[in-house]
A and B are shown apart, each in its own frame.
Chain A
């Protein structure tokens, strides 16, 4: 039989594939199926948080910040509890990052607050004297794209059965009906902020990117 396989490279390749595929299935699949499920009690991102996540991606925070705390004492002392894979179940895509020019942000919501983020994004060196992070002042004037975030929520609800409530439905009408909820969430954050332009914009029904981003960062716990 082995001489036969040696003479028939095609079937030899099929045999190799079967062996490796089987090994892969039994080692990868059971663990994957278990750890890819959302943690008990994990809530999907709200629409405002999703908009903030999009700002995070757009401004490439991931280039310098990771979102994955490894189970080493040095890391858990500084950043908090190590990360579990089930925590990323609603992250599409996940933002683990691969480089820490700045600190890890996976639990930044536990030890930083709205007003700190506001000071820091406006002028990082005002709170962290040695910081090399650039200022992100444009986030205070740019308006966050809530419609896209809403569409994303609708999509993941339909495609991946992400447990959003019944009020997230396709269509412009449903979006218009949902908008006040997003605004109410934004108002809560703006109430803790000091920047007048941001407060005015939120009062006028517009949500600057910084508000969405802070909602997202506060959510990272």
Chain B
């Protein structure tokens, strides 16, 4: 062992000690296999880097070259016609064989699909989401509904759900406004896909329509106007939509939110696009829970 190798190993030793100091300082837990492997790797790099360079520097100092020179030379710098060292040649061949195995059997070039990865990820996540939230309690639904509302609904309905001063439906101020009720009575509605089917236009006119609108917009309190009978045949006497056969005009419920999310709506205020493939049933339920809570008294 010559002086150079000793110096190199000493240097490697210093590096290893430095690594240990860092481990101590940062309280790194070596019982974690990943940390341990990283540490062993660091030691190996230190020893190999300095050991190998020391070996070759020593060899350069003493080695002499021999063999037959090739014909061509570049500015006096020539090239020996020596055979490739056996180890190199075999490892080169080995990598070629490994390369063929890798591209065909080991990890075929067409085996990765970004879309496939997306499919798997989304499927796994959705399954997990459904399993965790199948029987979610009211508080979870409320919180989930709020976060969905803030992302998907707030751009039009506002972060507080007030409809941004008439730019979209107002969830805070009762169920529907007089203007909206009048517009639906006038135009009918066949957008929400309820089992009861289309609502024909002009079910009531003039004062009757006004009375109905005032009654519905007022939260269906007080005496029911006689003309409401026309509405009651589908929406029910209490306006709750006969268990989901028609739209609930008295209150927000899951059924109503589901139909609007699924079909979108064009009403007195403007157009709401359908959000059908953007939410799962659980999320719609959560959203309904949150929207119900927005309504001020």
Residue interface mask B262-285, A partner, CB < 8 A = 1: 000000011111010110000000
B106 → A minimal CB distance (Å): 19
B155 and A127 contact, CB distance less than 8 A: yes
CB distance from B195 to the nearest CB of A (A): 26
Main secondary structure of the interface of B (DSSP, over half): helix
**Contact residue among A6, A72, A127 (Cβ-Cβ distance under 8 Å from B156):** A127
The yes or no answer to B104 lying at the interface (CB within 8 A) is: no
Q: Which of chain A's residues have a CB closer than 8 A to the CB of B70?
A: 3
Task: List the A residue with the shortest CB-CB distance to B116.
Answer: A71
Q: Does the CB pair B71–A3 fall under 8 Å?
A: yes
Which residues of chain B are near A115, meaning CB under 8 Å? 167, 269-271
Q: Kindly report which residue of chain B lies nearest to residue A75, judged by CB atoms.
A: B118
A6 to B164, CA, bound (A): 75
Q: Which of A60-84 contact B (CB under 8 A)?
A: 71-73, 76-78, 80, 82
Would you call B77 an interface residue if the criterion is a C-beta within 8 Å of the partner chain's C-beta atoms? no
Q: Between A and B, how many residue pairs show CB distances below 8 Å?
A: 55
Query: CB distance A126 to B271 under 8 Å?
Result: no
User: In the complex, what's the smallest C-beta–C-beta distance from B15 to chain A, in angstroms?
Assistant: 40
* Number of residues of chain A lying within 8 A (CB) of chain B: 24
Q: Select which of B72, B122, B271, B278 is within 8 A of A114 by beta carbon.
A: B271
B271 touches A73 (CB 8 A): no
Binding site for B on A (CB under 8 A): 3, 6-7, 71-73, 76-78, 80, 82, 110-116, 119, 126-129, 192
If A71-B118, A116-B270 are given as contacts, then 9 extra A-B residue pairs at C-beta distance below 8 Å, sorted by A number, are A3-B70, A6-B72, A73-B118, A73-B121, A76-B118, A80-B277, A113-B271, A113-B272, A119-B164
| 9 intermolecular pairs with C-beta atoms under 8 Å apart | A6-B72, A7-B72, A113-B270, A115-B270, A116-B156, A116-B167, A119-B164, A128-B155, A192-B270
